[in-house]
Amino acid sequence: MARTSQGGGEFVYHIAGVRLRVVGSGSLRLFYHSLDNVRNLTLLPLPLSSASAIEPTRLGNFRSQRTQLELKTDSIDEYFQISKIVIFAKPSATSLPG
């Protein structure tokens, strides 16, 4: 007989960080949000440049069944162009209690 979980098959994921291939001007702000914005995590801002030889990584310690990554700038003249996003995540639990 197959085992079923209480969470409807939704794992709890640990999000360890994000790596971006991004260029632009200004400062890029990064946020993690859980379902219905119950939990939020603000990551360190990422200074942008028009050319870069590195793919910066921002570490975060966030656990949720589903996670939204929000990227934004604050000023009107700032912009960013993303060509690659790598999110470092792994399942840490099969379901939540209850």
C-alpha to C-alpha distance for 75 and 79, rounded to whole angstroms: 9
Please report whether residue 73 resides in a domain: no
Q: Cβ(23)–Cβ(84) under 8 Å?
A: no
Please report whether residue 70 resides in a domain: no
Q: Quick one: the chain helix, strand, coil %, rounded to 5?
A: 5, 55, 40
Per the structure, the count of domains in the chain is 1
pTM of the model: 0.81
Please report whether residue 72 resides in a domain: no
Each of the 98 residues of the chain gets a pLDDT tens digit; together they read 444 445 456 899 999 999 999 999 999 999 999 988 899 999 999 999 998 888 999 999 999 999 999 999 989 999 999 999 999 999 998 877 76
DSSP states along 25-72:
EEEEEEEEE-GGGSSEEEPPPEEE-SS-SS--EEEEEEEESS-EEEEE
Range of the domain at 60: 9-29+45-65+79-93
